[in-house]
Amino acid sequence: MPAALALLAAAFVVGFEQIVQSKYGATGIIGLLLLTVGIKAKNPAFSSAGAVLLALLLAGPAL
């Protein structure tokens, strides 16, 4: 059962990355990567940079 759950989680992550890349391009992937690495490494600088980059991408059309 844990192997199936890990496979399902990996498929979800890959699918989410593809959606972000198709909508926001390489900048979206870099922001998502910074956010993920920052959270995993417990580094607030990386996670904040990734969150700000993703927020700018989402708010870009409204500005």
Taking the whole predicted model, whether its pTM rises above 0.85 is answered as: no
**Residue 50 near residue 32 (C-beta atoms within 8 A):** yes
Mean pLDDT over 1-17 rounds to 83
Residue 63 to residue 61: CA distance in whole angstroms: 6
- What does the pLDDT look like over 40-55, one tens digit per residue? 999 999 999 999 998 9
- CB count, 10 Å around CB of 6? 10
